Amino acid sequence: MKPLTARAQIGVVGLGTIGSEELALWRRSGHPAVGFDTSRTRVQAQELLGQGGDDASGLTSRFSDLASCDALVLCLPNLDSQGELTLKAFDQFLDKIWTFEPAERLIVVASTVPVGFTREFANRLGEHGRLVAHVPERFDPGRSTSLGEIPRVAGATSKEALDLTVDLYSRVGVTITPVDPVEVAEASKLLENAFRLVNIAFINEFAELCRRMGITAADVIDAAATKPFAFMKHTPGVGAGGTCIPTVSKYLLEAASHNDLELPILRDAVDGNAHLVERVVAHLDQLLRANSVSRARVLVVGASYKPNYPDTRGSAALRFARELGARHKVTVYDPIVDTTRWPSDLALVREPPRPASYDAVVVAVRHRQVDLDALRQAGPIFIDLVRGSVEVDESIPTRK
């Protein structure tokens, strides 16, 4: 296949968090680009954002509109609606690509996939699978960095596919490192996510130890972060959430099991992260009991899965609020959270609380708009999970 020129047509398959950013990247660089999603709602959402070009013709829920594309970038999900890992969307893509005439077309898998998936997928693509690459996505929603500014890694099932991919992404300004074999690219993405999960799980464990020793985790972490090498600052909270960090490490655990190996550190991080919410609920219960409150009014601050970003998918903070809601009267304060999937049985406020209006306030996620001083006045018990601090102010009345 000839190198893909600046006029090459790019199809982006799946227009979620990642696909919409990929589409914007190719559009910004002047490539004619088509965004496809099976969900009409997603397509309409992109139309509203003006992502379809002048006449929105670059957005579609008709697969056949991708037929003329020179490259397809697959930004398909690896989770079902319950948050369980599945690669069913790739099966759906395979079913549809067979309706196309075989053509010289580069297929780039941008989704996070298990090691070995890209090669197997290329085999299943048959005559459509001669040029298949994996360029794992590293976008960090909420950070003010556009996807094109983040360096990427590329692997492919052949040298020709790798050269085409590196050339294509380099020409639109993406710093791209080729790796070989393609399994290195797959494993590198899983390593990045597992590394983050293990660190988050450990920093939460460490914050619990600090609390029991009567010191504040954030003070210790800030002190350690003055070391200019070999330390990377991580922040405690109510657990890693979202659709990537807590889930895809399971691909590595499965790979280990297929290779007769245990990864106890990673397994503990996955399990520890999943159980952190119960531990925080139990600690709060204990504090409330000590203050003679049984059914308390609790304000949970932050419900999205990470600071400064509205998405609640896989949010540990939201799970925490819901579990706490089984025992106490819980209100969530989150000025930016997306309410599209908000549970109808959970109260949400957008405005900061009045003084002494709760028995306890728990900061689970701290968006930059949040005023900690105002929150401190809202109840006698103030737990900041992000600092790892617990403050009890007896001058603020408890509601009994």
Residues numbered 330-389 forming contacts with ligand NAD, rule: CB under 6 A: none
Cis preceding-peptide flag for 102 (omega within 30 of 0): no
Q: Rounded distance, CA 387 to CA 365, Å?
A: 11
Q: Would you count residue 152 as binding ligand NAD (CB under 6 A)?
A: no
Q: Tell me which residue has its CB nearest to ligand NAD.
A: 16
Q: What residue type is assigned to position 112 of the chain?
A: T
Find the part of the chain contacting ligand NAD (CB under 6 A) among 138-146, 209-217, 250-258, 373-381.
Answer: 138-146
Classify burial at 271, counting beta carbons within 10 Å of its beta carbon; exposed 0-12, middle 13-18, buried 19 or more.
exposed
Q: Would you count residue 14 as binding ligand NAD (CB under 6 A)?
A: yes
Cβ nearer to ligand NAD, comparing 39 with 123: 39
List C-alpha distances in Å: 67 to 44, 64, 127, 357. Answer: 21, 5, 15, 59
CB of 243 to ligand NAD, least distance (A): 5
Q: Would you count residue 139 as binding ligand NAD (CB under 6 A)?
A: yes
Q: Rounded distance, CA 231 to CA 199, Å?
A: 11
Q: What is the H or E stretch that residue 243 is in?
A: none
Cβ nearer to ligand NAD, comparing 17 with 389: 17
Q: Rounded distance, CA 400 to CA 397, Å?
A: 9
CB of 88 to ligand NAD, least distance (A): 8
CB of 277 to ligand NAD, least distance (A): 21
Q: 64, 78, 22, 19: which is closest to 43 by C-alpha?
A: 19
Q: Would you count residue 141 as binding ligand NAD (CB under 6 A)?
A: yes
- Pick from 35, 52, 58, 77 the residue near ligand NAD by CB under 6 A: 77
Q: Would you count residue 304 as binding ligand NAD (CB under 6 A)?
A: no
Q: Would you count residue 13 as binding ligand NAD (CB under 6 A)?
A: yes
Q: How many Cβ atoms sit within 10 Å of the Cβ of residue 282?
A: 9
Residues numbered 231-290 forming contacts with ligand NAD, rule: CB under 6 A: 243-244
Q: Would you count residue 114 as binding ligand NAD (CB under 6 A)?
A: no
Cβ nearer to ligand NAD, comparing 60 with 331: 60
The number of CA neighbours under 13 Å toward the Cβ of 332 is: 29
The region, left, alpha or beta by phi > 0 then psi within -120 to 50, assigned to residue 359 is: alpha
Q: Rounded distance, CA 377 to CA 204, Å?
A: 26
Assess contact for 338 and 322: CB atoms under 8 A: no
Q: Would you count residue 22 as binding ligand NAD (CB under 6 A)?
A: no
CB of 13 to ligand NAD, least distance (A): 5
- Pick from 46, 112, 118, 304 the residue near ligand NAD by CB under 6 A: 112
Count helices and strands (H / E) in the chain. 11, 14
Find the part of the chain contacting ligand NAD (CB under 6 A) among 85-93, 212-220, 293-301, 314-322.
Answer: 85-93
- Pick from 9, 12, 17, 317 the residue near ligand NAD by CB under 6 A: 17
Q: 148, 136, 147: which is closest to 112 by C-alpha?
A: 136
Cβ nearer to ligand NAD, comparing 137 with 384: 137
Q: Would you count residue 147 as binding ligand NAD (CB under 6 A)?
A: no
Q: Rounded distance, CA 255 to CA 276, Å?
A: 25
Q: Would you count residue 154 as binding ligand NAD (CB under 6 A)?
A: no
Q: 126, 118, 124, 121: which is closest to 188 by C-alpha?
A: 118
- Pick from 32, 44, 47, 92 the residue near ligand NAD by CB under 6 A: 92
Residues that bind ligand NAD (CB under 6 A): 13-19, 36-39, 42, 75-78, 89, 92-93, 111-112, 137-139, 141, 243-244
